[in-house]
Structure 1
Amino acid sequence: MLSHNLGYPRVGSQRELKKASEQYWAGKIDRDALQKVARQIRHRNWETQQQSGIDLIPSNDFSLYDQVLDTSLLVGAIPERYNQLIDGKSNRELDLYFAMARGVQREGVDIKAMEMTKWFDTNYHYIVPEFIKNQKFNRYSDKVILEFEDARQQGIITKPVLLGPVTYLLLGKEKEEGFDRIDLLDQLLPVYIEILKELASRGAEWIQLDEPCLVLDLTDKYKIALESAYAQIHEAVPNLRILLATYFGALEDNLSLATNLPVAALHIDLTRGEESLSAVLSDRDFINSTKLLSLGVVDGRNIWKNDYKKSLDFIQKTVDIIGENRVLIAPSSSLLHSPHDLDLEKNEEVLTPEIKNWMAFAKQKLAEVSTLTKLSGTDYIKNKLFTTNQKAIESRRTSTLIHKTLVKKRVTAIELQDFERKNNFGARQIIQLEKLKLPLFPSTTIGSFPQTDDVRQLRANLKKGILTQQEYENRIEEEIVKSLRWQEDLGIDVLVHGEFERNDMVEYFGESLSGFVFTQNGWVQSYGSRCVKPPIIYGDVERPAPMTVRWSAFAQANSDKLVKGMLTGPVTILQWSFVRDDQPRKDTTFQIGLAIRDEVVDLEKAGIKVIQIDEPAIREGLPLRKSAWKNYLKWAVDAFRLSAAGVADQTQIHTHMCYSEFNDIIDSIAAMDADVITIETSRSQMELLDAFADFNYPNEIGPGVYDIHSPRVPTIEEITLLLEKALKVIPARNLWVNPDCGLKTRKWPETEAALRNMISAANLLRESVAIEQ
């Protein structure tokens, strides 16, 4: 029996890669310095896994930005607009790579970034491949080869990881009409086969090909593509041991397809699809084959300690049927989605020993995989590692910290009327037009403004005791007033207070709610250099006191214009946290929804007339199988309505969503019944609006007119063109003007320039519509 790992966190235990990347983009270090940091992280990761007892250690799971973007560069799927960066002397792979991810804007060069969206149902974002008809592929990057050789020089023969060819094509997007991207498979496979042959020639024994598409609803065309792809790969490299990795769900109707592909091993996720195990072990063809089965028993996407008893039962069941030599033990998925190392959490006031004892981060999960591999087949009941684990599991189950009777009773007492506003949107819109007196095409931003080093230092100095609470609040008030004056001068219609007091849109609220706990170093990569430190929901949730009213009320008192109250919605707080796994997610979400409802009501009482409840994670929370959508969407939409429905009709409720495909859930988006929805549309050139137009979406919409995830500043002409596109499908009185998302991660100069252009474009549109009328 062997242990293996599917992938490891790549930003470094102290976010070294984030810091180095941002220094490189700022021109403060050169590429050699950046690559040195990257190499050090890779070496530490390999050493950590080797020391933890992992038998098959992955390589090429590291990335400077995103593994899907790595694949695009690997196979030469480089959009034509980047050709000017690979001509002649400017053939600089690293700058091309970052330009594809972030866009580039400098003298003589202005290229937009590639689209970005969520990786399956996680909070990780990937760069969407772009395909054209008759797309040509060629081996462009040698990253996978170089990293394999780098590890070999360290004395480790790794298991190189590649995104499987079918999943890669599925994750992309056709950029012109008249073809299906899966039809490009025959052009793509020769590049994969060339790479696999070279890895084999260099001594690779195992290759991991990730095909998480196998947990999705696949068309017959994609199923045939999988059969064809792996038949060709097996024929080309018959002696190379391919480990086919599936994760994030159960195989269900794809089980027979997966078990019959000509590979050496199949990996299944038993944390999100444990039913796959019984199905595989009932497949006579699989049982009678020589294929290995990799059991993903350690959760790669949560922070709770593994229950050794449950995992060992899975392992023993498998060994009894196919034998010990055909079993591999692994995490359920890449550990990319887990924080780095629980041992870095030293402050017991932040993370108490009792709760910490219930947890395991990426490094500890490696130890769990190794321990389970060693305990299997032994008389483990009295083994100290087993008994210690079981004590921790029991401690969590019986802890008095977790359950609050009053919270549970309040959820049970929710009635249908608690989900409903007094009147429908049509009636509310008339009231709001009269009360709010907003112009045509009202402008706003999504909430946050750049968090400068000075602002972050204020919070640090408060924690260190350098600033008193009063001194800190005075400084935050100064920042808020400064931002209000700036917005007023710019001509923005609905202002925001800037969120200078907030560390993160979920963490900030979690810190004010009971049932949450936090880490000091529990960073997880969201995209590129963007890392988040998700809160941990360990118990019942309630709001002991108002969370945002103080700052929103202060901001409104300092401006004659409307200032939005800014909140994060219950589904997003759930999705962007590590969630307790001892009760249904719906119950936890409704607890959070009631807490947010209390805050919404208090904001209204404080004179806030526009309140935004951000729900960017509604779409990403969708189950991967459509058969489970109805149930999820019902409680997710209800949770939002529960949080928003406690106010009068004249109070305008906004929500925000980003990087979502709405076509297949547009009826549920409408059912949320927000007065205004703001969405990401700029990278897709307003394509996402088609769903709203086809559905005849009745409420007001703010389609994002520029991409805040790229540092480039859009021109007035670009924004005007996007607004004109939007106006073709959205009634003029329902159209808002805003960026794609919050501006927290941007710098002030680019923010000021972009918003100035946005307001100019809005004014031009108002003038043109006024002339037409």
Structure 2
Amino acid sequence: MITSHIIGQSRIGFNRDLKKSLERCFEFNECFEKNKNYLNELKKKVLYNNWNLKINNNINYINIGDFSFYDHILDNIFNVNCTPKRFKIKNNENFFKNYFILAKGDTNNQPLEMKKWFNTNYHYLVPEYDLDTKFSLNLSILKNDIYFAKIFKKKIKFIIIGPLTFLKLGKIKDNKLKNRLLLLPELLLSYFSLINELNNNVDLIQIDEPILILNLSEIWLKCFKNTYNILCSYFTNIMMATYFEQINAAYLKYLEGINFFSIHLDLINYKKINNFIKNKNIKYNHISLGIIDGKNIWKNNLEKSFYIINDIKKSMMISTSCSLMHVPLDLNSEKFKNKKNKIIKNWISFGNQKLEEIKNLSEIYKLNLYNNKKKYMNKNFIKNIFFVMNKKKSKLVFVKNIQNKIKKININDFKYRINYNLRRNIQKKYFKLNTFTTTTIGSFPQTPKIRKIRIDYKNSAISKNNYENLIKKEIYFIIKKQLDYKLDILVHGEPERGDMVEYFAQSIEGFLTTNNGWVQSYGSRYVKPPVIYGDIHIKNYLTLNWAKYSQSLTQKPLKGMLTGPLTMIKWSFRRIDQPNYITTIQMSLVLKKEIKKLEKIGIKIIQIDEPAIREFLPIKNDKYKHYFNWAIKTFILILSGIKNNTQIHTHICYSEFNNIINFIKDLNVDVVSIETSRSNMSITTTLNDYANDIGLGVYDIHTKRKMEINYAIYLIKIIINNIDIKKIWINPDCGLKTRKWLEISKSLKNIVYCSKIFKNLKLSF
């Protein structure tokens, strides 16, 4: 027997409807309660389209629970009524108002922290727990979704994040709570009540427990076994889902004896599926096979997939490896004009096409079953084989001279620069820098005017010369503003760049950029990851003209801004036909060439942004050392040979760094800037022995809250208490492109003012 389902679908809408609606409300500070009917109708529209796509592709279940107005972890906070007490939410009457205060904050409340969702570029909002945290049931939204779903008269699958994962991914905000598992019994009661209330109206309960792919202590594993022994003894329709990696082999004994209806495995990352299937002590009616890649965009090799599932003598459910929220919606919206891009398009599969792949794979399996397992090939199967083979043989993928360059790289290309203390002395004298140096991370507000200039140029409504003159005027304005703020180190503001990855990808061979390949990064923030289809190389320089013009406008040092090799690769849809480190080295060689030229034209401070350094990290920590071994080398490759008075910065954000700070030290950059504002500077306690300079992000730019002087002083005092003042730089926690000039002007002036207060104190510890 074979059935099909989807782990989850995109919630952004075909035309980014959700983003546009939310940002209109954010923009004009409209009351969400007044717009709740409109927002709920929009939700119905997205669900209606998603469910119809499943029905049209013969997917057996439609989903509820995978839609979210902002974030699925935030949704669960409201499902089980555990909003942090600092928000002082006493009732659920004003749902949208309360919901978005947690997400974005307000004048009285800092929003919830954000962290990366495992090894993806999606950010989730972090639950907060203390000894007084209580859980109770809130079914109002879910019941409405079920009522709407019943109209379709199809099997319904309800999706919820698992109780163990929900606890594990949260943050303890109270020293009195020594172990968050103390909260599990009450949380489990809420889950039990929730499932009990919904069970008569749904056919399948999908409970996501991706933490099973992490390294867990025995107490967590025992709690997992006890939790699901209880749930599965009462409810016979529970599917436990994991994704992004395989379950640790040592954990399988904790699955034994539990009566699951189904267990979902991510086959894209599962190397030893037979070890799982052959374990007769793991009980389930169906094995759910995530054989269609939910994180990448390459066509599934249907022939290979057919042989994999044909060897599994179990009752099966065919599915995606993970939610389709990590890939764009529909390839049919891409209208490529040139021949090369049309060829590449045939190798690609977006979300809607992945539903078709599930349909085709299910049909092929069923037809072969009915035809005595003779290989049955329909038209779609034959086309798939052709395109998969075409990609393997294409000269667009492998470029001989680039491959030869990689082969010639040797140990001499990975030389460290001289000792950092010597470099620091050289640079302090060269740039005449003092303590508490102020700067920004790179981008400044992307105004409607700037966006229109770029769109007009893209649509050939203005000439190249006209475009460049208009952008130069914007850069002039940005430089003047920074001089008014009295910042120490300036940036050109990046008005020519829409996105820190896509901008560079548009000029580099081996990358394909899309028009509508949007995926959610967090909330209403969407990105268009480029597609890396072949070897990376470049004919022209990337940033020289803008950097040269910008530096000509000021005597102050100006940073050249580049996106690092790890981030360029991680935030793109990557090749699967060669190791990541080879692709990353190719990118490093492009950036090395660029930095050499920036040095020659007088740009002596260069920031290489690497916000993805942690999310590229393998999920299993026993693989950390191998990853950092090659990741750090790709960074060192860029810097080998540059001058000692060239100051190298890097920026990393929205990740936990406590357990990898020693690896970050090995990057040996002159200044590393880190997001710290939302976590109340908690990371500073682990940075006291970090030798190089550190830029601390004191201004949270992901909210409209302004940086007040008193709060800036409070944060800087925390920094000084933990870090040597000689190493401290002060900056916002990220780029400013999503903010408005009115919002940032006061904040940046206050940061500079507070930094000068401490600088003039001439503190000595």
SS at match of 1:329: strand
Is the 1:567–1:611 contact (alpha carbons within 8 Å) kept by the matching residues of 2?
yes
Distance 1:153 1:769, change over 3 A: farther
Q: Which residue of 1 aligns with 2:344?
A: 355
Matched, 1:725 2:714: no
**Cα distance in 1 for residues equivalent to 2:109 and 2:229:** 39
Distance 1:238 1:698, change over 3 A: same
Is the 1:259–1:266 contact (alpha carbons within 8 Å) kept by the matching residues of 2?
no
1:544 CA displacement: 1.4
SS at match of 1:579: coil
1:657 CA displacement: 0.2
Distance 1:433 1:262, change over 3 A: same
Is the 2:61–2:154 contact (alpha carbons within 8 Å) kept by the matching residues of 1?
no
Distance 1:646 1:543, change over 3 A: farther
**Cα distance in 2 for residues equivalent to 1:674 and 1:706:** 23
1:347 CA displacement: 2.9
Q: Which of the numbers 285, 302, 322 marks the counterpart of 1:291?
A: 285
Matched, 1:714 2:707: yes
**TM-score normalised according to structure 1 size:** 0.95
Task: Describe the superposition over 1:481-506 as per-residue Cα deviations: whole angstroms up to 9, x where unpaired.
Answer: 10101100111000010000001100
1:350 CA displacement: 9.2
Task: Describe the superposition over 1:488-533 as per-residue Cα deviations: whole angstroms up to 9, x where unpaired.
Answer: 0111000010000001100011111110011111000000000000
Equivalences for residues 318-329 of structure 1 within 5 A: 318-319=312-313, 322=314, 326-329=315-318
Is the 2:501–2:571 contact (alpha carbons within 8 Å) kept by the matching residues of 1?
yes
Task: Describe the superposition over 1:187-216 as per-residue Cα deviations: whole angstroms up to 9, x where unpaired.
Answer: 101111111011113x21101000011111
Q: Which of the numbers 655, 680, 703 marks the counterpart of 2:696?
A: 703
Q: Which of the numbers 120, 125, 128 marks the counterpart of 2:126?
A: 128
Equivalences for residues 203-218 of structure 1 within 5 A: 203-218=201-216
Q: Which of the numbers 41, 45, 50 marks the counterpart of 1:45?
A: 50
Give the letter for the 1:366 counterpart: L
**Cα distance in 2 for residues equivalent to 1:542 and 1:290:** 49
Q: Which of the numbers 241, 244, 269 marks the counterpart of 2:240?
A: 244
**Cα distance in 2 for residues equivalent to 1:382 and 1:60:** 36
Q: Which residue of 2 aligns with 1:754?
A: 747
Matched, 1:391 2:386: yes
Is the 2:104–2:703 contact (alpha carbons within 8 Å) kept by the matching residues of 1?
yes
Give the letter for the 2:534 counterpart: G
1:56 CA displacement: 1.5
Q: Which residue of 1 aligns with 2:11?
A: 10
1:227 CA displacement: 0.9
Is the 1:443–1:493 contact (alpha carbons within 8 Å) kept by the matching residues of 2?
yes
Give the letter for the 1:66 counterpart: D
Q: Which residue of 2 aligns with 1:20?
A: 21
Q: Which residue of 2 aligns with 1:30?
A: 35
**Cα distance in 2 for residues equivalent to 1:570 and 1:446:** 18
**Cα distance in 1 for residues equivalent to 2:235 and 2:532:** 47
**Cα distance in 2 for residues equivalent to 1:260 and 1:748:** 60
Is the 1:305–1:360 contact (alpha carbons within 8 Å) kept by the matching residues of 2?
yes
Equivalences for residues 374-773 of structure 1 within 5 A: 374-377=363-366, 378=368, 379-693=374-688, 696-769=689-762
**Cα distance in 2 for residues equivalent to 1:157 and 1:273:** 28
SS at match of 2:112: coil
Matched, 1:282 2:281: no
**Cα distance in 1 for residues equivalent to 2:572 and 2:190:** 39
Unaligned residue ranges in structure 2 (runs of 5+) = 369-373
**Cα distance in 1 for residues equivalent to 2:447 and 2:179:** 45
**Cα distance in 2 for residues equivalent to 1:422 and 1:229:** 53
1:422 CA displacement: 3.4
Q: Which residue of 2 aligns with 1:305?
A: 299
Equivalences for residues 88-103 of structure 1 within 5 A: 91-103=93-105
Of stretches 177-186 and 212-221 in structure 1, the one that deviates more from structure 2 is 177-186
- Aligned sequence identity (%): 38
Q: Which runs of 4+ in 1 moved over 4 A?
A: none
Q: Which residue of 1 aligns with 2:169?
A: 171
Q: Which of the numbers 317, 335, 341 marks the counterpart of 2:330?
A: 341
SS at match of 1:158: strand
Is the 1:444–1:493 contact (alpha carbons within 8 Å) kept by the matching residues of 2?
yes
Give the letter for the 1:540 counterpart: D
Is the 1:214–1:246 contact (alpha carbons within 8 Å) kept by the matching residues of 2?
yes
**Cα distance in 2 for residues equivalent to 1:144 and 1:592:** 46
Is the 1:49–1:57 contact (alpha carbons within 8 Å) kept by the matching residues of 2?
yes
SS at match of 1:291: strand
1:259 CA displacement: 5.2
Give the letter for the 1:336 counterpart: M
SS at match of 2:187: helix
SS at match of 2:732: coil
SS at match of 1:737: strand
**Cα distance in 1 for residues equivalent to 2:561 and 2:101:** 32
Task: Describe the superposition over 1:720-773 as per-residue Cα deviations: whole angstroms up to 9, x where unpaired.
Answer: 111111112221121000011011111221111211221121122212335x69
SS at match of 1:284: coil
1:86 CA displacement: 3.9
Of stretches 525-534 and 261-270 in structure 1, the one that deviates more from structure 2 is 261-270
Is the 1:60–1:148 contact (alpha carbons within 8 Å) kept by the matching residues of 2?
no
Is the 2:232–2:258 contact (alpha carbons within 8 Å) kept by the matching residues of 1?
no
Is the 2:428–2:434 contact (alpha carbons within 8 Å) kept by the matching residues of 1?
no
Of stretches 623-632 and 150-159 in structure 1, the one that deviates more from structure 2 is 150-159
Task: Describe the superposition over 1:291-332 as per-residue Cα deviations: whole angstroms up to 9, x where unpaired.
Answer: 21001000000000000122111111113xx3xxx1110000
Q: Which of the numbers 221, 224, 227 marks the counterpart of 1:226?
A: 224
Q: Which residue of 2 aligns with 1:198?
A: 197
Task: Describe the superposition over 1:247-280 as per-residue Cα deviations: whole angstroms up to 9, x where unpaired.
Answer: 00011222332354331100000101232x1111
Matched, 1:372 2:368: no
Is the 1:214–1:258 contact (alpha carbons within 8 Å) kept by the matching residues of 2?
no
1:220 CA displacement: 0.4
Give the letter for the 1:650 counterpart: N
**Cα distance in 1 for residues equivalent to 2:436 and 2:443:** 21
Give the letter for the 1:733 counterpart: K
Q: Which of the numbers 85, 108, 114 marks the counterpart of 1:80?
A: 85
1:673 CA displacement: 0.5
1:351 CA displacement: 7.2
SS at match of 1:312: helix
1:344 CA displacement: 0.6
Q: Which residue of 1 aligns with 2:267?
A: 270
Of stretches 413-422 and 528-537 in structure 1, the one that deviates more from structure 2 is 413-422
Q: Which residue of 1 aligns with 2:371?
A: none
Give the letter for the 1:133 counterpart: L
Aligned-residue RMSD, C-alpha: 1.5
Is the 2:259–2:284 contact (alpha carbons within 8 Å) kept by the matching residues of 1?
no
SS at match of 2:328: coil
SS at match of 1:738: strand
**Cα distance in 1 for residues equivalent to 2:683 and 2:339:** 42
1:612 CA displacement: 0.1
Distance 1:195 1:351, change over 3 A: farther
SS at match of 1:447: coil
Of stretches 594-603 and 135-144 in structure 1, the one that deviates more from structure 2 is 135-144
1:134 CA displacement: 3.9
Distance 1:290 1:669, change over 3 A: closer
1:715 CA displacement: 1.1
1:581 CA displacement: 0.5
Give the letter for the 2:592 counterpart: R
Q: Which residue of 1 aligns with 2:184?
A: 185
Give the letter for the 1:681 counterpart: T
Give the letter for the 2:181 counterpart: I
1:536 CA displacement: 0.4
Is the 2:84–2:133 contact (alpha carbons within 8 Å) kept by the matching residues of 1?
no
1:290 CA displacement: 4.8
Give the letter for the 2:391 counterpart: R
